[in-house]
Amino acid sequence: MNSELLQAVEMLEKERHISRESLFEAIESSLISACKNNFQLSRNNLQDTEAIHAEIDRETCDIHVYSEQRIVATEDDIEEPGLEITLEEAKQYDPGAEVGGVLRRDFDSKEFGRIASQNAKNVILQKIREEERGAIYNEYSSREHDIVTGVVQRSYGRNITINLGRADAILTENEQVRNEHLRPQERIKVYILEVKNNNKGPRILVSRTHPDLVRRLFEQEVTEIREGVVEIKSIAREPGSRTKIAVYSNNSNVDAVGACVGVNGTRVGMIVDELNGEKIDIVNWDENPGNFIQNALSPAKIVAVFADPDEHVAKVVVPDYQLSLAIGKEGQNARLAARLTGYKIDIKNETQAKDTPGFRYEDYLDDEMDDGEGYYEEYEYADGEYAEDGYVTEGAEEEPAEAPAEEAPAAEE
């Protein structure tokens, strides 16, 4: 038993996650190359390495290197040089050789010279590197569009290297949160964007800004999401500032928002900490676009929503004192709401709405409709009607914005 080789194979298999069979194949290939180089087999009618065989016992690691050639009568009968040998030459190695038989010659790998041994070592090392790169690529390519934990290593240029354990990933400038300052040796979670395989090994690109980073963090923290009881319907994110997330419960007994927030905010608090204080608004998704838009614009109170599902545009009326809150700081609340719902949202206060041609003020002043929670309708309206003077924004922010004297242009998704 070759115990040293067996221990080396087991160690490589465990530490570098390289399959044992791949290692055995690499060693066998190197032995064939070393055998040809050492004995100059081309001079012994072994021009073709297909005639040389190397076998390693998978249990004991005992090595056997040998050649096999078919015996023919004369040189004129040789059709495959290297794989065939004449009877006259075969008798030099085996006096009992006969035409039609197979000449087998065994070689002792311990007799290989220094150069041949070094070549064999290089072949093995090259194979190990290739297998290791392949194993790393397979491991991380299977985790594309998922999150992993890494350690910040160093910056080069405007990019940052993140150590993921078995490989380093690249966090490019475009995928970094602008106001986030990462320190060396800091542990962070990143979203794997793409894994490319090249000659130098896998190239892993990661992100801290992708909206699905938030999605995966919620999937990790919220059991109901992992089990499919609660669904994340959509996410709108401005990295480092605020994220809005729409959730829906498939079980009437489970509160989707409450499940994501957790007891005393523990679940969402863990995610906010991971994102270094980024604010997160969790709202209920609704198949009624009017209700969904109302939820998306929270914390602002809504008087009326007129949504056109065909054009994916909506007109929203808010109390005069809520206009700046609905728009948000620098338009963020309305901007994120538009991205979350997929609607172009036009926001007006009551005073602006009443002065707009075609606006039906009585629709939301009716006693039967005015229940304090607003009025929502899927409303078809003519192009240009009740849109020219409105505020149109996209985004989410609890801090109210200063409402300018002049109306702003509409915000899009």
What's the predicted TM-score (pTM) here?
0.70
What sign for the dihedral angle of Cα 294, 296, 301, 307?
negative
- pLDDT recorded at residue 374: 44
d(CA 181, CA 188): 12
d(CA 24, CA 58): 8
Q: Which fold has domain 289-392?
A: GMP Synthetase; Chain A, domain 3 (3.30.300)
- CATH class (in words) of the domain with range 143-207: mainly beta
Highest-confidence range of 81-85, 200-204, 278-282, by mean pLDDT?
Answer: 278-282
CATH 2.40.50.140 positions along the chain are 143-207
pLDDT one-digit tens code per residue, 126-136: 888 888 888 88
State the distance between the two ends of the chain, measured CA to CA, in whole angstroms: 70
| Whether 296 contacts 347, CB under 8 Å | no
Q: Which fold has domain 3-136?
A: N Utilization Substance Protein A; Chain:P; domain 4 (3.30.1480)
Question: How many helices (DSSP H) and strands (DSSP E) are in the chain?
Answer: 13, 17
pLDDT one-digit tens code per residue, 345-363: 999 888 888 777 666 655 5
Per the listing, tokens 């690109």 go with 205
| Whether 221 contacts 257, CB under 8 Å | no
CATH 3.30.300.20 positions along the chain are 211-284, 289-392
- pLDDT recorded at residue 172: 94
| Whether 325 contacts 333, CB under 8 Å | yes
At a CB cut-off of 8 Å and minimum separation 6, what does 211 contact? 235, 236, 237, 243
Strand partners, 336: 395
d(CA 282, CA 239): 16
- CATH class (in words) of the domain with range 211-284: alpha beta
SS3 category, 354: helix
SS3 category, 317: strand
CATH 3.30.1480.10 positions along the chain are 3-136
| Mean pLDDT, all residues of the chain | 80
402: exposed, middle or buried (Cβ count in 10 Å: 0-12, 13-18, 19+):
exposed
Range with lowest mean pLDDT among 22-36, 160-174, 257-271, 311-325: 22-36
